[in-house]
Structure 1
Amino acid sequence: MPHEVRGVIARGKGAEVSVETVVVPDPGPGEALVRVQACGVCHTDLHYREGGINDEFPFLLGHEAAGVVEEVGPGVAEVEPGDFVILNWRAVCGQCRACLRGRPWYCFATHNAAQKMTLADGTELSPALGIGAFADKTLVAAGQCTKVDPAASPAAAGLLGCGVMAGLGAALNTAAVGRGDSVAVIGCGGVGCAAVAGARLAGAGTIIAVDLDDRKLEWARGFGATHTVNATGADPVAAIQGLTGGNGADVVIEAVGRPETYQQAFYARDLAGTVVLVGVPTPEMRLDLPLLDVFGRGGALKSSWYGDCLPSRDFPMLIDLYLRNRLDLDGFVTETIALDQVEEAFAKMHRGEVLRSVVVW
């Protein structure tokens, strides 16, 4: 029978969120019911609340989560009740042209649970990124559950569900940072610091963190940055060139999502270097670059979707590194909070006071 749980709801554009009763169906074919143990407060949730994703209110927010599978529907083989899982928002289909070409991280037909969660009055909810994990329990497609070692802290593990994976993957997967490479990361919030950590894991020789906030630059140093640049007092392009023998970095990762910082990334890379855009722009933003400069500098301009990750491959590997003290996922958890403190956490995130607030049950 359906489950009545508490969930964080965004009812309208810009309105403060509220904790309300959510009705979660029993899992149907291909679905799983997950008891949420921890869920990070990600900037994407704030985008939903502000109407920056779409206008399909009301939203059940939360998506950066870990928990335990309680029930599964018919035909589910990936997970079973009792499994500790990280939730992901790109459950690959296995049948689209990307999957059939052996590139499932680009899957063009990712899927979510078929059934809808609702408010107590029957109003259908739009779960953030098809997950909706600011709730005691949530219903997802079974493919959105990735089983990992239960020894991991749920608060840390859940962060691989979105922002931390996006940053790690931007360095490890999209940019394919190599040993000894020079890497610059522009924007050192949660995603940018994760990109720094990914560059360090990959063996980069020089890792340059760029931000406007000294506090964030200190966080980046903790994750492996060898140099920092405060862009309020220095030209980032000149500074990055100065730290790389005048050439520019082999890889520049833009984790802000603004035209001006993207231009900085473009000109701060070495000839034939790589720029990776992982920061999320808003719909009205436009980019103006001389086409001759694009041609003349060569290299690669890439966008990173979810760190080009394949959850079934990447989550267990990264959790293993975490458990062997080679990846400091705990360092991203600035504070743990209760479900009714999400609105306050949004304000802290907006002020740049936290890498991640994490709701813990």
Structure 2
Amino acid sequence: MNYCSLGSLIGLVGLLPALAQNGDRKGHDKMGKIVPEELIPPAPVLTVEEALKTFTIEKGFIIEPVAAEPLVDKPVALTFDPSGRMWVCEMRGYMPDIDGKLENMATGRIAILEDTTGDGKADKRTTFLDKIVLPRAISLVPGGILYGDQNNLYFVARNGDKPKGKAVVVDDKFAPGGNVEHKTNGLMSGIDNWLYNAKSNARFKFIPGENKIIKDTTAFRGQWGISRDNFGRLFHNSNSTLLIGDRVLPNLLNGNKLAKMKAKTTERIGSNAVFPGRVTPGLNRAYISSHNGYSSNTIDPKTFKLTNATGACGPVIYRGNNLPSSVNGNGFVCESSAQLIKMIGLEDKDGTLKGSHPL
């Protein structure tokens, strides 16, 4: 069993923070190596057991494996059913080579992962649906599931753990344009029973019995992942902004469609500073450095570590009770290129959201 790094796994669940660049940026012809090779530690492929010994964990937290290969393959999005089982989108066709060729092959799957022994680890897999082109979003709805692929949003009825009939397109403009990196993802249920997305200004409501959806406009949010707090406010981010939050409930200021509200409804929460535990040579635009004659630095020219987020993804507002109570309501964001997860403390006061960095 091989293990992909925590950064890679969470980056995939948060929907893919990197894609091969097509050519060089104009004026960016100085791309000399920045990090001395003798400072770059080995990065061998590890088993799950070996990898667990390499993590640095904050006091009060633990890390445990839940699922890994071969039980699951290239997970990018998941949701839970009432029995606590995970329904997982496996984007197996993503970047089969450095040029992304053959990504349009229908190799993606939706799998159900289940813990049958009660030890907190998935030990049973059921493939619910296969032959999907780059599946990226999933939501369980009455009588079936909604899922998004590279272009469309589908409904497929189900009989238990098996699909009943063929998938039906309910929106053929779910994920329009762009590459894999810049397409709709999410289908997260809000407290108003609408399904919200990142990298999109559309929200959806499923109509049980009719197996149809209502599509409505909402504010454009985020890039890779979406979450919400106990009040129902939505949180999202972009590659270089760790966390952005809505000040009010979604569409609250859109009651009258004839009135165009210009009020600021979102807030960037906290700084984008990150603190990697090792040098970070493998970054997008890491060559931008004073060592190469540029006026700015992607990585610190002295420590050779990333200073601010460049691959943020998968934001989560923690609302459970398994972690210390002091972090309930805080944000957790993966910076996959630096292989870390950052906690952001949330403060809500006088209609303003602020972020702190308690760790």
Normalised to the residue count of structure 2, the TM-score between the two structures is 0.25
The structure with the largest strand share of the pair is 2
Q: Which has the higher contact order (CA 8 A, sep 6+)?
A: 1
The structure with the largest helix share of the pair is 1
Normalised to the residue count of structure 1, the TM-score between the two structures is 0.25
